[in-house]
Amino acid sequence: MRLAALAWTVARTPTVEGFAQRLDHALGTLATQGVDLVMLPEYAGVEVGAARAAGCGARAEVMETAALAPALEDAIAAVAAHHGVWLLGGSLPAQEGGRLVNRATLFAPDGRRAVQRKGRMTRFEAEEWGVAPAGPPVAIETPWGRLGIAICYDAEFPPIVRAMVTAGAWLVLVPACTDSKAGATRVTISARARAIENQCFVAVAPMLGEAPWCESLDANHGRAGIYGPADRGFPADGIIAEGAEDAPGAVIADLDPSAIERVREHGAVRNHRDWPDEPIACAIISPFAPAAA
């Protein structure tokens, strides 16, 4: 698989059609490079709702995007079909059963869709936007094997990614949106750690750019990256491909699932196999306690 992790710069885009045109242009460039799968960042489509609800507050921007989610997802699906690529359309806020959720959809070129909902909310999502946690981790069948999607904060929790890998995911996609460099660091380091501890590939696509007109996505930081195990057959630092900090554009890498099988069997370590089956209890001792008589 040739994977492109796209660092997407937020722009004032007041229509679904305008967003689709931006995406079509980006995919047109990538398709000429033989890319099989492209991933966008978390909340990529919020720029549309934010432009339409500018000046009404962050929650209004998010709610406007949620109202547009079906139309945005149809537009993203059409772009994927046009270019004949698989496309992770980042994630979108959406209304489901009376709840506001954050869902990422993987679009196949033939129109099929698979959805992963975010399981853990950051403080601003829960406290300011009212986004609710929804859905367990899933592993998605593709022509290259099973993939997982850990939406931003979810990638910071090893058991979430581990559940995907246990279900057969050899690649985990992390669409991300963070408003500080500290947040971007957490996502990048977590992605690299998940790749090492599971002996799998993990890719990050971040939202970038300053948008003073947009309260929900006013500042965005990160770097695109594709990571693997730091072990035999891989770079010593585990970095397969990585963009510069806050640099827009895509990083591209050819990923082979058989390389994951080999490192799990013949690597210097076997993190994937040696993962504890049960939670490990921690004993408490006091080296300063009086010695027994």
- pLDDT tens digits for 204-256? 999 999 999 999 999 999 999 999 999 999 999 999 999 999 999 999 999 99
Q: What is the pairing mode between strands 201-210 and 225-227?
A: antiparallel
Q: Tell whether 290 is covered by a domain.
A: no
Q: Tell whether 286 is covered by a domain.
A: no
DSSP E strands: which ranges in the chain?
A: 2-9, 37-39, 86-96, 99-107, 113-117, 140-142, 145-149, 169-176, 201-210, 219-220, 225-227, 239-242, 249-254
Taking all residues of the chain, what is their mean pLDDT, rounded to a whole number? 96
Instruction: Convert the pLDDT of each residue in 11-47 to its tens digit.
Output: 999 999 999 999 999 999 999 999 999 999 999 999 9
Q: Is the pLDDT of residue 96 over 60?
A: yes
Domain range spanning residue 239?
2-274
CATH at 119 = 3.60.110.10
pLDDT band per the 50, 70, 90 thresholds, residue 113? very high
Rounded to a whole number of angstroms, the distance between the first and last alpha carbons of the chain is 67
Q: Tell whether 244 is covered by a domain.
A: yes
pTM: 0.96
Q: Tell whether 159 is covered by a domain.
A: yes
Q: Tell whether 170 is covered by a domain.
A: yes
Which has the higher per-residue pLDDT, 103 or 135?
Answer: 103
Number of domains in the chain: 1
